[in-house]
Amino acid sequence: MVVRMEPDARPRAQRAWLHVFTVGLVLWVAAIVVTVVTENSTLLPTVILLGSFLVPVTFVVWAYERRSARLDEYTFFRCFVIGGVLGVLGASLLESYLLRPDAWVFLRVGFIEEFAKLAALMWCARHLRVRTLRDGAILGATVGFGFAAFESAGHAFNAFFTERGLSFENLIETQLVRSLLTRSGTGCGPRSPAPCSSPPHRPGRCAPRCGQSARTSSSRCCTSCGTA
C-alpha cells in the first residue's frame, strides 16, 4: 500500500498577536476583578504574571509571524525565556557591584541593563550560522521583551509593599505604567550588534553584503563572500 503524503494546507495564522493580546487582557482584568471581590491573596501571582507578560508575549507572537525560515520556535523560546532571565540576573549582579549612589546612577543602570541584554542575545543566537539584520532585530527585541517581562513582575511585586502597608492599587498602577512603557523602553533592547559579528558561512557560498539596496535590506548580512 502506498501512502501519499499531502502537503500541509493549513493557512498560516494571521494576526494571532491580536488574539493573544485580547484574550490575555480579558484574563488579566478578570483576575483583578475576582481578586478584589474575593480578597483572595493566592490570586496575586496570577495577576502579576498576566499583567507583566501580556505585552511582551504579544510582541513575541507578532515577531514570530514575521520571522524568517532560519528562526524556529525554540530560538524564540531561548531568546525570550532564557535570554530574559540571563539578562535580569546579569544586570542584577553587575548593578550590585558597579553602582554607586551619585548623579550618574541611572545612566549606569541603563548601560548595565543594555550590556546584559546584549550579552544574553549573543549567547542565545550563537548557534545561528547566518545572521541578518532582520533576524537580529527580531531576536534582540525578543530578548528585550523577555527582560522586561521578568523585570516588570519583580517591580509589580515590590509595588505591592508600601510604607502604608499592602497596596493592590499600587501594584495594578505599576503594571499599567510599565505595560505602556515596555514597547518603547526596556523591550526595545539590543537589536543589531549581534547579527553583525561576522557569522560563519560555508566556503563557496556567498552571504548578502551590507551594501545592497533597501529593497533587500531585510536579508542583509554583515559578512563578505567566501570566494575570491
Domain spans, the chain = 16-198
Q: Give the pLDDT of residue 15.
A: 83
Question: For residues 133-169, b (16+ Cβ closer than 10 Å) or e, as one string?
Answer: bbbbbbbbbbbbbbbbbbbbbeebeebbeeeeeeebe
CA distances, 192 to each of 46, 110, 125, 154 (Å): 34, 18, 12, 27
| CB distance 174 to 198 below 8 Å | no
Q: Give the pLDDT of residue 214.
A: 35
* Three-state DSSP state, 118: helix
Q: Is the pTM of this model over 0.85?
A: no
Q: What is the grid cell recorded at 41?
A: 491573596
Q: Give the pLDDT of residue 179.
A: 84
| CB distance 206 to 176 below 8 Å | no
Q: What is the grid cell recorded at 25?
A: 487582557
pLDDT in tens, the chain (228 residues): 444 443 443 445 568 899 999 999 999 999 999 999 999 989 999 999 999 999 999 999 998 888 888 888 888 999 999 999 999 999 999 988 888 888 888 888 989 999 999 999 999 988 888 778 888 889 999 999 999 999 999 999 999 998 888 889 899 999 998 888 765 555 555 544 444 333 444 433 334 333 333 333 333 333 333 333
Q: What is the grid cell recorded at 11?
A: 493557512
CA distance linking residue 144 with residue 196, whole number of Å: 18
Q: Where are the beta strands (DSSP E) in 119-193?
A: 161-162, 165-166
How far is C-alpha 209 from the geometric centre of its chain's CA atoms?
Answer: 27
- The label of the residue with cell 508600601 reads 162
* Three-state DSSP state, 167: coil
